[in-house]
């Protein structure tokens, strides 16, 4: 996979991909991540990427010409014929694990990081395939939001995580993950649940499944609507509901 991040502040994205597991994915050749300076696609002496809004009002707008030229050039260089162009915007679709999973199957992503008041509307309507928001709040720019997308997509690339790790984690199968413990077995009078020390893997699996159901029921009951539940899971959830009713 190749990911091009188009930004006027490439320095902001220098760090996140040069450490830890994302760096390892880059080193292993699972993904190529390029920081593309939008100013390198300007043609004027001042390398102008923004301008004032027509109709007046505050703030600046990213101009269409450098963005169109950048995206067209990057698509051509990738040569996949099916690049996905993403605009980071608080007005976009909420980013979810299922979207990350879908994107992890693509060959080339171009992610446009907005700034100031955002981008010229023609970019949105004619250049972009997807508009993504990482939550209902407004950031100063799209760089941090884009880093979130890259991180969540790259960790789903084949060869990054073991199959077991990605199958069990939160949102896979629409459930939140079970709690985790590590050594020591007792810390400040807080004990690790006995079952985890038992060595009985069938019991441990069942305990984890039930904790996962309980967590989801308590914190994100909305997820249960789409969860893949066995008859045994349903009985367990009924017990939780009955305890609450009593
Ligand atoms: N004027 C815009 C509006 O009200 O919708 C907000 C612009 S914001 C200050 C500047 C840039 O930050 C946006 O163009 C976008 O790229 C990015 N951004 C801000 N919040 C975001 C969010 N929640 N998700 C994704 N990108 C965001």
pLDDT, one tens digit per residue, over 133-187 is 999 999 999 999 999 999 999 999 999 988 777 777 888 788 999 999 999 999 9
The percentage of residues in the chain with a pLDDT greater than 90, rounded to a whole number, is 93
Q: Where are the domain boundaries for CATH 1.10.1270.20 in the chain?
A: 164-245
Mean per-residue pLDDT of the chain: 96
| Residue 244 pLDDT grade (very low, low, confident, very high; cuts 50, 70, 90) | confident
Choosing from 88, 99, 127, 135 the residue with most ligand 1 atoms within 8 A of its CB, the one to mutate for a pocket test is 88
pLDDT at position 52? 98
pLDDT in tens, 84-113: 999 999 999 999 999 999 999 999 999 999
Give φ, ψ of 226 to 5 degrees: -105, 5
Helix (H, G, I), strand (E, B) or coil at 38: helix
Whole-prediction pTM: 0.94
Partners of 94 in the beta sheet?
133
* The pLDDT of residue 246: 79
What would the pLDDT profile of 206-219 be if each residue is shown by its tens digit?
999 999 999 999 99
Q: Are 66 and 38 in contact (CB under 8 A)?
A: yes
CATH 3.40.1280.10 boundaries in the chain: 2-161
Cβ atoms < 10 Å from Cβ of 201: 8
Nearest one of 141, 80, 81, 155 to 111, comparing CA atoms = 141
Looking at domain 164-245, its CATH architecture is Orthogonal Bundle (1.10)
**What per-residue confidence (pLDDT) applies to 123?**
98
Compute the distance from residue 230 Cα to the ligand 1 centre, in Å. Answer: 41
Q: Is 83 in the pocket of ligand 1 (CB under 6 A)?
A: no
| pLDDT-based confidence at residue 80 (cuts at 50, 70, 90) | very high
- CATH T-level topology, domain 2-161: Alpha/beta knot (3.40.1280)
pLDDT of residue 76: 98
Average pLDDT over residues 69-94: 97
Rg of the chain over CA atoms, in angstroms?
23
**Contact at 8 Å (CB) between 58 and 50?**
no
Spell out a b/e string for 27-53, using b for 16 or more CB atoms within 10 Å of the CB, else e.
eeeebebebbbbeebbeeeeeebbeee
Q: Quick check: 59 pLDDT over 90?
A: yes
With a cut of 90, say whether residue 15 has pLDDT above it: yes
Is 114 touching ligand 1 by the criterion CB < 6 Å?
A: yes
| Cα(244)–Cα(227) distance, integer angstroms | 21
Residue 139, ligand 1, Cβ within 6 A: yes
Paired sense of beta strands 84-94 and 130-133, if any: parallel
């Amino acid at each position: 996979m190749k990911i091009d991040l188009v930004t006027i502040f490439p320095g902001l994205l220098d760090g996140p991909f040069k450490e830890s597991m994302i760096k390892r994915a880059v080193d292993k050749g699972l993904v190529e991540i390029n920081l593309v300076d939008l100013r390198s696609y300007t043609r004027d002496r001042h390398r102008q990427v923004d301008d004032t809004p027509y109709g007046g009002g505050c703030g600046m707008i990213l101009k269409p010409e450098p963005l169109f030229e950048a995206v067209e050039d990057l698509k051509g260089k990738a040569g996949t014929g099916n690049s996905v162009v993403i605009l980071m915007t608080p007005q976009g679709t909420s980013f979810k694990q299922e979207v990350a999973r879908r994107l992890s199957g693509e060959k080339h992503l171009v992610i446009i990081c907005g700034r100031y008041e955002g981008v010229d509307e023609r970019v949105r309507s004619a250049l972009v395939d997807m508009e993504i928001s990482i939550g209902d709040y407004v950031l100063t720019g799209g760089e941090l939001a884009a880093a979130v997308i890259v991180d969540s997509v790259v960790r789903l690339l084949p060869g990054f995580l073991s199959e077991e790790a990605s199958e069990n984690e939160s949102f896979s199968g629409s459930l939140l993950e079970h709690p985790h413990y590590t050594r020591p077995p007792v810390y400040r009078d807080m004990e690790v649940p006995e079952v985890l020390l038992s060595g009985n893997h069938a019991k441990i699996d069942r305990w984890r499944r039930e904790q996962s159901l309980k967590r989801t029921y308590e914190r994100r009951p909305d997820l249960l609507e789409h969860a893949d539940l066995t008859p045994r899971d349903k009985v367990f959830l009924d017990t939780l509901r009955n305890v609450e009713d009593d």
